[in-house]
Amino acid sequence: MRVALALVRLVARDERYREQWEADVAGARELGMSPLSVAFGVVRAAVVMPSKGAVVVGPLGIALKHAGTSRARVAALAVVSALMLLGGIALLFA
């Protein structure tokens, strides 16, 4: 049980998830499960879960996704995306 809890503390960066996962590991035996197998499930979940970064949508999000390219290309992409978005909104009210 100590090894499983140490593994959860090592992997879980977000305090909210860490508390929940520690409770899952601690209560695993009551459900007839191995605490170590629950801890390995936590490791898999922590790897798959997205980071705490905010999800940006729309023209700005698309431009930020391509931020490694030249500024002119990012600006053109943002303008085209914004115009397409405005066109879609105009079609809704037409």
Residue 39 has what pLDDT? 85
Predicted local distance difference test score (pLDDT) of residue 69: 64
End-to-end CA, the chain = 63
Q: What is the pLDDT of residue 43?
A: 80
3-class secondary structure, 38: helix
25-76: pLDDT as tens digits: 888 888 898 888 888 888 877 766 655 555 555 666 666 666 666 777 777 7
Query: Are 21 and 9 spatial neighbours (Cβ–Cβ below 8 Å)?
Result: no
Contact yes or no for 22/1 (Cβ under 8 A): no
pLDDT the model gives residue 2 = 77
Handedness of CA 17, 23, 28, 34 (dihedral sign): positive
What average pLDDT does this structure show over 4-14? 74
Using CA atoms, how far apart are residues 39 and 4, in angstroms rounded to an integer? 5
